[in-house]
Amino acid sequence: MILNDKKTINAWCSYDWANSVYNLIVTTAIFPIYYNSVTESAFNDDLVTFFGININSSVLYSYAISFSFLIAVLLYPILSGIADYRGTKKAFMRFFTYLGSLACIGLYFFVGSNIEYGIILAITASLGYASSVVFYNAFLPEIATEDQMDNVSAKGFSMGYIGSVLLLIFSLILVSIPETFGFEDAGSATRFVFLLVGIWWFGFAHIAFAALKDDNTKGKITNEVLRSGFNELKKVFFSLKENINSIRFLYSFFFYSMGVQTVMLLAPLFAAEEIGMESNEMIIVILIIQLVAVGGAYLFAFISKKNGNKMAISIAIVIWFSICVLAYFIGDKTIFFGLAGLLGLVMGGIQSISRSTYSKLIPENTKDTASYFSFYDVTEKFGIVLGTMGFGYILQLTGSMRNSMLFMGIFFVVGIIILSRSNLNKKEA
């Protein structure tokens, strides 16, 4: 593939457009609200029975997301090594896209009483989304030069935010006036939205699939290939060990991403239970976050260009820490809307700039990009596993999400301390 080719970059960014609807609608906006509503209706309480175990529905959902990322963490090292050895990044990206999008379509049949079915599909969709992104991210160093990575990464996230907002708005119209579109009630319209998400993700992903190229060796997956896959990872591991700045960045990323991803995933539940947000108010909050995130991605790319990636990430971490502290004290809905805008600004910024920063730290002309990004994504997803489990545990222990949110602030403090000891300028390092 030709570096900095506009057509290829646009096609690559289109995958953010394709899969971000899952992240917004299923993970963040509509599914958590629907999940709480139908499970409470089915069990007449927030205490549900899952495979014979009585558990709080919010805690169960938190643990389910943790479990999906734990599976992903175990799979990444093996699959990324094979992908680099056989030249099949796009093939794995396609497989997990199909897995995730079909799971979203399957959520159409989740009605609350079949909670085991719903949780299993939620885990499967999460696994498909998280795993496909590993191989998607691995293409960034292959399509853009170092000086363009910040902007290309920002463009991808921005397209994702815009596309997901468009489908969310359409989905809200369906759910608000279901009878107009031939649905019996809001519940059936909501289930149809999950179907739309799966089709959107599946369909638009093929724009990226058409442009991105695999260098497939067409070898069969044998024991030798598996060993070679592990050898690819071993080579990458020792390469990272030789660069102390890459290791320090990954350690820092592990801690601050633990806070970022957990807060993003569980913010809707926090807004509902601690602030008393109604469903329509939470949707407005989510729209604010997504729209502001578009500007945030480009703002932090600009800060990085002027002051370097380290400064850009440090500013974002400080703001994230402040959000965790403020969330502990906030009880007013109006103030929470303002906090949502601030969260959107740094959500777009820190996700985009972290991806491009790591891309810059990968040695030039390397072909092992999937293996390198498996370390990046394992770091992120393992952080999510610990973060969401920690959030759920503090909630179960204290009965308050405010305490869980304040606890997340610790991870940002540790992250910025480690980051302060790293040099993210590859030439100077």
Q: What residue spans define the domains of the chain?
A: 6-419
d(CA 62, CA 393): 10
**Which residue type is seen at 70?**
L
Q: How far apart are CA 267 and CA 192, in angstroms?
A: 24
Task: Determine the Cα–Cα distance for residues 141 and 149; give it in Å rounded to an integer.
Answer: 8
- How far is it, in rounded angstroms, from Cα 3 to Cα 6? 9
pLDDT of residue 282: 78
State the pairing for strand pair 47-50/53-56: antiparallel
pLDDT in the model for residue 425: 63
Averaged over successive runs of 10 residues, the pLDDT of the chain (429 residues) comes to 87 94 86 88 89 87 82 78 80 95 96 94 93 89 88 90 91 91 92 96 96 74 62 72 83 91 79 80 82 88 89 94 92 88 89 87 73 78 80 85 91 94 62
Would you list the DSSP string of 174-190?
Answer: HHHSGGGGT-SSHHHHH
Alpha-helix residue ranges (DSSP H) falling in 138-222: 140-143, 149-176, 186-211
Tokens of 372: 């390198």
pLDDT for 422 equals 85
d(CA 61, CA 104): 16
| pTM across the whole model | 0.79
Q: Does residue 243 sit in helix, strand or coil?
A: coil
Largest CA distance in the chain: 63
What is the per-residue pLDDT for 332?
A: 86
CA distance linking residue 303 with residue 151, whole number of Å:
11
DSSP state for residue 363 in the 8-state scheme: P
Q: What is the pLDDT of residue 220?
A: 61
The CATH class given to the 6-419 domain equals mainly alpha
Which stretches of 243-308 are DSSP H helices?
Answer: 244-270, 279-307
Quote the pLDDT of residue 232.
65
CA distance 285 to 292: 11
Distance CA 97, CA 131 (A): 8
